Amino acid sequence: MAVLLFNLRGVPEDEAYEVRDLLNHHEIDFYETSAGNWGFSLPALWLRDESQLNDAQQLLENYQQYRYTSQREAYLKLKAAGEHKTLFQSFLENPMSFALYLAAMGLVIYISIKVLFEFGL
């Protein structure tokens, strides 16, 4: 029976590619499911053979530790050089979408508070 190995929801494409490559390199038999047309399904990597689960989990644990340290180092280098992306830089890159998101958040907060006061809370 197939076993869920790695959930791909929210995983950057480069990380997903590296995980696939790692599993292929170590000859671990897996298959991938997508999120589907509407995004409701589970995008994931599944093991075909349950007997490979411990090996695959150990590989992924080691990879995740490596990924964490390498990405953290890259972020700290960018931060030290002053090249990391800040909130203000995000605003400057796309001020209209930033303003629309801010307006949407304000609308949600306004409606939430208004409903509370209408119920007398």
The model's pLDDT over 89-116, given as tens digits with 9 standing for 90+, comes to 888 999 999 999 999 999 999 999 998 8
- Find all residues with CB under 8 Å of 30, minimum gap 6, and list them: 5, 23, 45, 46, 47, 48, 56
Mean pLDDT of 79-83: 88
Paired residues of 33 in beta bridges? 44
Predicted pLDDT at 33: 95
Predicted pLDDT at 90: 85
Mean pLDDT of 13-27: 96
Predicted pLDDT at 82: 84
Predicted pLDDT at 119: 82
* pTM > 0.85: no
